[in-house]
Each structure stands twice: as structure tokens, then as C-alpha cells.
Amino acid sequence: MAEERAGAVTMRGNPMTLVGPEIKVGQKAPNFTLVDKTMRPATLDQFKGKVKIISAVPSLDTPVCDMETRRFNEEAAKLPGDVQILTISLDLPFAQARWCGAAGVDKVTTLSDYRSAEFGKNYGALIKELHLLARAVFVVDKNDNVQYVEYVKEVANQPNYEAVLAAAKKAAA
């Protein structure tokens, strides 16, 4: 049975349980198999040799996730070319594609964890009570080592963009 961390985050003040281990800086990033916008499988291995900013969000169709993903899309233009931003949610790939088209988001790769919530369980970001991903950001270097972790304590809040971007730039240097 998967590890559970009761009260690890809150959703509008209500304590929530995260399923899976807490990822720590310095460990190898767990692999995952997700689904891209064309319904093809996507794995961590596909992004080998790149610095990855992995942004887990509950749903692109909510205001904070919308804001966060647009912000990362803007920031992507200022980052070195070997930095890849992945936004992962349990939204269906069709909904992610529609949202990106409507929002003009073209520099962030959206991936869906809808099939098995494997990413959520591997990265300790699956909210048990809601079957949604918690808001969390991981920076993973070119060798797939975790360089930065933030589980946003209150899911309705945004992550620390400055810290995320600084970690990504340092990993890309």
C-alpha cells in the first residue's frame, strides 16, 4: 500500500492527505508514464539531458492553475533552451489541449496523469480525498536528480516562482 501523509497540504484550509513518498532534494527523480495532448505516452526519460521544471496542478480549468501555467509559459522564454517546463494534471489530454489553445500557452508541455495517477503516487502529490494532484513544483537536473522541491502547503496558493526559476537556472548553468 502506498505511503500516506495526512494533513500534508490544505485545500481552502481543510487538511488533505497526500498519497506517495515525499520527494527530497538530492534523490533521483522517479520515472513516470503520462499521456500527452496527442494521447501518446510520455515519460521522464523523454526529457533526458534537459533541466525539467515539473509543475503539478489540480486542474488547468481553475484560476490559480491557469495563472501559474501562464506565468511559467511567460518565464519559459527567458530560460536557457535546455530547460523544459512540464505541467502535469489529472485533466484529460483533450481538455489540456483546449486550454492551451485558448490561453495561447505554447512553451509549456502539458501532460495528463488521468490514467493511473502514477505521477501523483510516485511524487507524493496525489490528494487522496479529491483524486487531484496537489500544487507542487520539482526542478530536476539533466541527470534526473531532484534539485528543488516545493509542495505548496495551501493548494489554492501559488508556488514560489523566484525560487523555482533560480533552481532551474542554477541546474542549467
Residue reference for cell 527530497: 24
Whether residue 103 has pLDDT greater than 70: yes
Residue 65 has pLDDT above 70, yes or no: yes
| Domain spans of the chain, in order of start | 4-11+20-172
Confidence check: pLDDT of 118 > 70: yes
Distance between CA atoms of residues 67 and 72, nearest Å = 9
Q: What is the pLDDT of residue 2?
A: 76
Could you tell me what percent of the chain has a pLDDT over 70? Answer: 99
- 10, with CB counted inside 10 A (0-12, 13-18, 19+), is middle
Predicted pLDDT at 1:
66
Confidence tier at 75 by pLDDT (50, 70, 90): very high
Query: Over the chain, what is the mean pLDDT?
Result: 95
Q: Are 88 and 133 in contact (CB under 8 A)?
A: yes
User: Domain 4-11+20-172, what fold?
Assistant: Glutaredoxin (3.40.30)
Rounded CA-CA distance 89/65 in Å is: 10
Q: Considering the candidates 65, 83, 95, 125, report the single residue annotated as catalytic.
A: 65
Does the pLDDT of residue 45 top 70, yes or no? yes
pLDDT tens, 4-33? 999 999 999 999 999 999 999 999 999 999
Q: How far is it, in rounded angstroms, from Cα 140 to Cα 8? A: 22
pTM (predicted TM-score): 0.95
Given a cut of 90, is residue 88 above it in pLDDT? yes
CA angle 32, 108, 2 (to 5 degrees): 25
Strand pairing class (41-43; 4-11): unpaired
Task: Provide φ and ψ at 160, rounded to 5°.
Answer: -85, 90
Exposure of 9 by Cβ count < 10 A (0-12 exposed, 13-18 middle, 19+ buried)? buried
Confidence band for 80, pLDDT divided at 50, 70 and 90: confident
Q: Is 100 an annotated catalytic residue?
A: no
